[in-house]
């Protein structure tokens, strides 16, 4: 598959050309960004970026959802800010500046989660501050946001974030079902007490399938999801 | 007149994969027989479950991959994998333990890598590790040997226990693990590990009632059974001497070093050689032609490496038996070992 470094500059070049063209088709750009973020260049299963949090916190859907929302927020925020200041940043020191913007946003998220979803904050632990080092965020800032206008950058951040969240949630759901037979266990720590009814118990077991909750299970399920995605692509190619 | 110019060797015995696998299965018989004698026929039930699941899983995956089904099944490699998994599982473990393990071994460890000859890891051991990590309780409830049972357990009892978790009289498997002295049964390696944690020395442990209830005698005999089978495999040249000999020598040396250093805290070489799955591992698992090293020097290094890891994990690690972990770690090193031990071609440059 295409790698981040190979794909992203091409994207932005294409988009720049499209921007320069006299507003040929605005919708096409957004459609392309959506397609890239959600499927073709999905940060989770195609670019394989941000694997550390992806594999570490997806033992339940709730944890996955918490991290997904946090990452999504940071990604949209950083893309917007980086795009806003893109003409004022000297090339030589752009990376430190991007990192500072991202770090500030992550600090905001961390404080917010500490204040409003304390239990989830505890269960995600080190992986909230680690969003700073998530390659997806710095990657999109460098490859896309620093070269495109604010609207496109924010939309790209949103789509990349949603794509990443989709993978997080799928992984979290599969692992939680395998390990505990439930879905949305502990969701009240994220959404408040009203949500405690959302927990779905699919089956009850005395002996949980521990492997699915452990890191090796994350790698195996992740591999299966990637294989599934490739199989679909393959089938679509064959049809053409 | 045409002379056929072929290089040596000129006389060869040709064995197909099927023949090799049949020999392996035949040589497993003494060990399995002794294990069933001491721990009950449930062992054979587990073997049948694992074998059926292994063949079905292999057939289904081959169907999906559009490969020849009957010819591949005939090679018997799936059968051997199933049998090895079943031997490693406690006889009265629930049926789904064997099913999950075998499915994982065949589908994930073997076929997803490309089938026989392509897998990096030993399927049986990868499955064992998966089961041990996922279901620690089921995977460590070994029954006391039959003569130490407080109740007699018939074949039907065992069949029932495997499929429902209860004997016909309603005893649960965990009740059955209590031996005639009222001591909860564990394997010898388990007992040593737990007693060492409790502050006993090895001499005290080997004299204690718990250790004698832990069917150390039975495990010793099972190991001897696999040793006999392994010796036949060696004599028939199904497996070569390098891996088993270097592994057993390694176990002796490394466990002796630990034993000489702290005899109170480490088992003796004899204990390590004849407990757990040492002999099964030495002759039947390490020698898997697919996932083991292939050069002569490489095989010796491979055996020694696994021996070292096994003694290390047994003495210091958290899990009682270590063959499976050591084999998987050894499998990971195989490409590296093979790369650095390639023999030089005669006349070629170093």
- With an 8 Å Cβ cutoff, are B134 and A210 in contact? yes
CA distance A39 to B237: 54
> What tokens were used for B314?
């047994």
Residue A61 in any domain: the answer is yes
Interface-testing mutation among A181, A207, A208, A230, with chain B (most B C-beta atoms within 10 A): A207
CA distance B36 to B30: 10
CA distance A24 to A12: 16
Q: Where are the beta strands (DSSP E) in B4-110?
A: none
Q: Which of residues 187-216 of A touch B (CB under 8 A)?
A: 207, 209-212, 214, 216
> 């589908």: which residue's tokens?
B107
Residue A33 in any domain: the answer is no
Report pLDDT for B54.
94
Mean pLDDT of A93-102: 92
Q: Which of residues 102-141 of B touch A (CB under 8 A)?
A: 108, 130, 133-138
Chain A residues in contact with B108 by the CB 8 A cut-off are 220
Report pLDDT for B247.
95
Smallest Cβ–Cβ distance between B133 and the set A207, A210, A220 belongs to A210
Query: H/E element holding B317?
Result: none
Is A144's pLDDT higher than 50?
A: yes
CA distance A199 to B348: 68
Report pLDDT for B216.
74
- With an 8 Å Cβ cutoff, are B133 and A207 in contact? no
> What tokens were used for A3?
């790698």
> What tokens were used for A113?
């989660």
Cβ neighbour number for residue B2 with a 10 Å cutoff: 4
Residue A29 in any domain: the answer is no
- With an 8 Å Cβ cutoff, are B134 and A216 in contact? no
Note down the domain range covering A93: 4-20+50-239
Report pLDDT for B151.
63
What proportion of chain A, given as a percentage, has pLDDT over 90? 34
Chain A residues in contact with B138 by the CB 8 A cut-off are 207
Chain A residues in contact with B133 by the CB 8 A cut-off are 210-211, 214, 216
pLDDT tens sequence across A153-212: 999 999 999 999 999 999 999 999 888 888 888 777 777 777 777 777 877 777 778 888
Residue A31 in any domain: the answer is no
The partner residues of A182 in beta bridges, in order of sequence, read A201
pLDDT tens sequence across A17-58: 444 444 457 788 888 888 888 888 888 888 888 888 888 888
CA distance A143 to A127: 24
| Spatial contact of B131 and B173, defined as CB atoms under 8 Å apart | no
- With an 8 Å Cβ cutoff, are B130 and A211 in contact? yes
In chain B, domain spans: 16-185, 187-340
Report pLDDT for A22.
44
CA distance A58 to B338: 37
Report pLDDT for A185.
81
Residue B134 C-alpha, separation from nearest chain A C-alpha, in angstroms: 4
Report pLDDT for B279.
92
Choose the weakest-confidence range: A7-16, A138-147, B197-206, B262-271: A7-16
* Residues of chain B predicted below pLDDT 50: none
Distance of CA A162 to the CA centre of its chain: 6
Chain B residues in contact with A211 by the CB 8 A cut-off are 130, 133-134
Q: Which residue has the higher pLDDT, B70 or A9?
A: B70
CA distance B120 to B124: 12
pTM score: 0.83
Chain A residues in contact with B103 by the CB 8 A cut-off are none
Residue B142 C-alpha, separation from nearest chain A C-alpha, in angstroms: 17
CA distance B82 to B100: 11
Residue A44 in any domain: the answer is no
Residue B15, φ and ψ in degrees, nearest 5 = -120, 135
Smallest Cβ–Cβ distance between A214 and the set B100, B133, B135 belongs to B133
Report pLDDT for A133.
85
| Spatial contact of B183 and B210, defined as CB atoms under 8 Å apart | yes
Residue A26 in any domain: the answer is no
What is B123-168 written as a DSSP string? Answer: HHHHHHHHHHHH-HHHHH-PPPPGGG-SS---HHHHHHHHHHSB-T
- With an 8 Å Cβ cutoff, are A216 and B133 in contact? yes
Prediction ipTM score: 0.77
Q: Please count the structural domains in chain A.
A: 1
């Amino acid at each position: 598959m295409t790698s981040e470094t190979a794909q992203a500059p091409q994207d932005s070049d294409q988009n720049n050309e499209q921007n320069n063209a006299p507003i040929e088709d605005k919708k096409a750009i957004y459609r392309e960004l959506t397609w890239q973020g959600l499927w073709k260049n999905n940060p989770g299963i195609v670019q394989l970026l941000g694997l550390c949090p992806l594999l570490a916190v997806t033992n339940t859907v709730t944890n996955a959802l918490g991290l997904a929302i946090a990452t999504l927020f940071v990604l949209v925020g950083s893309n917007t800010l980086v795009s806003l200041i893109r003409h004022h940043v000297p090339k030589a020191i752009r990376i430190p500046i991007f990192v500072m913007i991202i770090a500030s946003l992550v600090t905001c998220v961390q404080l917010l989660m500490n204040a409003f979803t304390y239990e989830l904050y505890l269960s995600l632990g080190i992986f909230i501050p680690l969003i700073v080092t998530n390659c997806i965020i710095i990657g999109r800032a460098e490859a896309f946001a620093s070269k495109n206008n604010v609207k496109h950058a924010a939309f790209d951040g949103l789509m990349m974030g949603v794509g990443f969240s989709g993978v997080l949630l799928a992984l979290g759901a599969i692992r939680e079902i395998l390990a505990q037979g439930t879905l949305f266990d502990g969701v009240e720590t994220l959404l408040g007490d009203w949500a405690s009814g959302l927990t779905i118990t699919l089956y009850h077991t005395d002996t949980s399938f521990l492997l699915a909750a452990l890191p090796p299970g994350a790698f195996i399920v992740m591999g299966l999801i990637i294989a599934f995605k490739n199989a679909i692509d393959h089938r679509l190619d064959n049809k053409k | 007149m045409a002379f056929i110019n072929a290089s040596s060797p000129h006389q060869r015995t040709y064995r197909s994969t099927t023949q090799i696998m049949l020999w392996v299965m035949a040589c497993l018989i003494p060990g399995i027989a002794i294990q069933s004698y001491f721990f009950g026929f449930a062992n054979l039930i587990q073997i049948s479950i694992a074998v059926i699941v292994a063949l079905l899983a292999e057939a289904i995956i081959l169907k999906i991959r559009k490969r020849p089904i009957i010819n591949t099944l005939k090679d018997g490699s799936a059968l051997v994998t199933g049998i090895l998994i079943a031997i490693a599982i406690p006889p009265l473990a629930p049926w789904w333990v064997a099913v999950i393990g075998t499915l994982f071994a065949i589908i994930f460890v073997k076929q997803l890598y490309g089938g026989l000859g392509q897998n990096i890891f030993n399927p049986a051991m990868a499955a064992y590790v998966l089961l041990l990590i996922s279901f620690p309780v089921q995977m460590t409830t070994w029954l006391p040997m039959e003569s130490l049972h407080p109740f007699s357990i018939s074949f039907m009892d065992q069949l029932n226990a495997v499929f429902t978790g209860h004997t016909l009289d309603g005893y649960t498997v965990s009740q059955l693990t209590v031996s005639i002295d009222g001591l909860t049964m564990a394997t010898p390696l388990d007992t040593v590990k737990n007693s060492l944690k409790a502050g006993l020395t090895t001499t005290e442990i080997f004299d204690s009632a718990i250790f004698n209830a832990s069917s150390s005698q039975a495990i010793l005999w099972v190991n001897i059974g696999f040793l006999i089978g392994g010796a036949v495999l060696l004599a028939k040249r199904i497996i070569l001497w390098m891996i088993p000999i270097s592994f057993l020598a390694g176990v002796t040396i490394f466990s002796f070093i630990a034993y000489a250093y702290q005899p109170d805290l480490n088992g003796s070489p004899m204990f390590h050689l004849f407990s757990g799955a040492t002999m099964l591992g030495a002759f039947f698992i390490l020698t898997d032609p697919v996932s083991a090293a292939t050069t002569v020097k490489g095989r010796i290094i491979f055996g020694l490496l696994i021996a070292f890891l096994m003694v290390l994990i047994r003495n210091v690690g958290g899990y009682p038996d270590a063959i499976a972990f050591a084999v998987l770690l050894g499998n990971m090193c195989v490409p590296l070992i093979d790369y650095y031990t390639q023999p030089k071609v005669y006349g070629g440059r170093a």
